[in-house]
Amino acid sequence: MSDLLALPPGLAAFAVLACFLAGAVRGFAGFGLSALAMAMLAAFVPPIQLIPSFWFLEMAASLVLMRGGWADADRRTALTLMIGAGLGLPLGLAVSLSLDPVVSKTAALVLLIVLALMQVSRLRLPALATRTGTAATGLSAGIITGIAGAGGMLIALYALARDIPARRMRGTLNIYLLGGGVLGLLVHLLVGTMTSEAATRGLVLVAPTLAGVFVGKALFTPRWERWYRPACLLLLIGLATSGLLRLALAG
Q: Could you list the mean pLDDT of each consecutive 10-residue stretch along the chain, which spans 251 residues?
A: 86 96 88 91 94 94 73 82 94 94 94 92 81 92 93 83 72 79 93 95 97 91 82 92 90 64
Report the distance separating Cα 161 and Cα 155, nearest Å. 10
Instruction: Give the sign of the dihedral formed by CA 221, CA 227, CA 230, CA 235.
Output: negative
Residue 69 is predicted with a pLDDT of 56
Q: What angle do CA 108, 185, 150 make, to 5 degrees?
A: 25
Return contacts of 122-130, CB within 8 angstroms, 24+ apart.
Answer: 122/160, 123/157, 123/160, 124/160, 124/161, 125/157, 125/161, 126/161, 127/161, 128/157, 128/158, 128/161, 128/162, 129/158, 129/161, 129/162, 129/163
pTM exceeds 0.75, yes or no:
yes
Residue 178 is predicted with a pLDDT of 82
Q: Give Cα 189 to chain centroid, integer Å.
A: 19
Residue 26 is predicted with a pLDDT of 87
Residue 190 is predicted with a pLDDT of 94
Q: What angle do CA 102, 93, 3 make, to 5 degrees?
A: 65
Residue 243 is predicted with a pLDDT of 93
**Beta carbons of 38 and 150 less than 8 angstroms apart:** yes
